[in-house]
Each structure stands twice: as structure tokens, then as C-alpha cells.
Amino acid sequence: MIQLYTWNTPNGKKVSIMAEEVGIPYEVYPINLQQGDQHKPEYLAINPNNKIPSIVDTDGPGGKPLTLFESGAILMYLAEKTGKLWPQDVRKRYEVIQWLMFQMGGVGPMFGQANYFFRMTEKVPYAIERFHKEALRLYKVLDQQLGHKEYLAGEYSIADIATYPWVWRHEIHQVKLEEFPNIKRWFDVISARPEVQRGMEIPKT
């Protein structure tokens, strides 16, 4: 059984989408970020970085529990454990990992900062401009890639699952999807997947 510690944010939704996609049983443990649950000692024992998501696989390698944080590592683990969305071919697998790292190192942090500064009551124009500009640059890279591939790494993969919930927040970081037609096509196709729709509903709070 996978125990999923999550909240209603893009990084959390990646893992519930993944669990739905690979059909692995999971239990949801909401970590209310607004109430500071991520700082409680019992949660810090699972994730010393006091952020969501985290998982505990009660039936980990060797039949022993495995605790994991960082959404990208969790997606890779679940893909490898189930053998789904995890290409056996080395080239294809590294193409997936490359776009997953692009999400983890670029899309997540930059869109996250843009969201933060756009929502701050006290506006910091330099920060808004810096992160909005970088978000737009990343959208351009994604749009170019999706102009010649159906999904980020060719076939539907954990790279798409990682990126989708961040693009879902495009209105907060003030990006018009109509200006990125290839991303819009990709976003609409992924939004229509029943597994994605179920994963996006988690946690039910």
C-alpha cells in the first residue's frame, strides 16, 4: 500500500495522478499547508524538508517499508515499481528523465515563484517581471517540443504527469494558453484523461 502525504498543490497532484494512472492502491493523508502540518515532528520524520508530497510504500523493496520525498523521485519510483510509464529502452527512458528534470529544475521552481509574487498583496515589480519572463521562456521551450512530439518525451510519460499540474495553474502566473497552441493541444488531451481527472481531485478536503 502506498501512503500518500499531500495537499492541494501541483507537486501533490503529480503523485495522485500517477497513482491513478498506474492503478496502484493508495491511501491519502492530507497535510494542511495553511495550518502548518508540514512542520509537525511526525511529518518531519517522513520528509525532513517540510514539504509535500511524500510517500511511504509499506511494501517497498525487499518487502520492507520505503519512505520517499521529492515528487520527481516518487514518480520515478512508482514507474519503476509498476513497470508502467517507464520505457525499457535506455534512450527513451533518459528522454523521459530529461524532461522530468526540466520540470523539477525549471518549470516547478519558476512557475512557483511567479505564482507567489503574482499573489502577494504587496507587489514587487522586479520579482514579478523576472519570474513571469522566465515562465514565458519555459512555456516557449515546452511549446517548441510539443510542436514536434505528441507528448514531452514522445509517448505519454511521467514527464507529462509532472508538468501538467503546473500548466493547470497558468492563469495564476498570467499565461494565456492560446498563445502556445501546442501546449494547449497537449493540455486539453491530458485534461480529458479520466485518471488525470481523478488524480486532480485529490486530496478531497
Ligand X SMILES: N[C@@H](CCC(=O)N[C@@H](CS)C(=O)NCC(=O)O)C(=O)O
Minimum distance between the CB of residue 50 and ligand X, rounded to whole angstroms? 6
Residue nearest to ligand X (CB): 51
- Of 108 and 203, which has the nearer Cβ to ligand X? 108
By CB under 6 A, is residue 33 in contact with ligand X? Answer: yes
Minimum distance between the CB of residue 70 and ligand X, rounded to whole angstroms? 5
With contact defined as beta carbons under 8 Å apart, do 190 and 163 qualify? no
With contact defined as beta carbons under 8 Å apart, do 3 and 55 qualify? yes
With contact defined as beta carbons under 8 Å apart, do 32 and 56 qualify? no
Minimum distance between the CB of residue 49 and ligand X, rounded to whole angstroms? 7
CB contact burial 166-191 (16+ within 10 A = b; e otherwise): bbbebeebebebeebebbbebbeebe
Give, as ranges, the residues between 50 and 89 that touch ligand X (CB under 6 A).
50-53, 70-72
User: How many residues bind to ligand X according to rule CB under 6 A?
Assistant: 13
Omega within 30 of 0 (cis) for the link into 53: yes
Amino acid at 8: N
Q: For 85, list phi and psi in degrees, rounded to 5.
A: 55, 35
Residues 6+ apart with CB under 8 A from 195: 17, 20, 21
Task: Tell me the Cα Rg of the chain.
Answer: 17
- Of 50 and 182, which has the nearer Cβ to ligand X? 50
Q: Which of 113, 167, 107 is nearest to 137 (CA)?
A: 107
- From its phi and psi, is residue 12 left (phi > 0), alpha (psi between -120 and 50) or beta? alpha
With contact defined as beta carbons under 8 Å apart, do 180 and 143 qualify? yes
Give, as ranges, the residues between 171 and 190 that touch ligand X (CB under 6 A).
none
The interface mask with ligand X, positions 99-138, x = CB under 6 A, is ---------x------------------------------
Please identify, among the stretches 5-13, 86-94, 125-133, 140-148, the one whose residues bind ligand X according to the rule CB under 6 A: 5-13
Minimum distance between the CB of residue 10 and ligand X, rounded to whole angstroms? 6
- Of 41 and 62, which has the nearer Cβ to ligand X? 41
- Of 11 and 163, which has the nearer Cβ to ligand X? 11
Minimum distance between the CB of residue 147 and ligand X, rounded to whole angstroms? 27
Binding site for ligand X (CB under 6 A): 9-11, 33, 38, 50-53, 70-72, 108
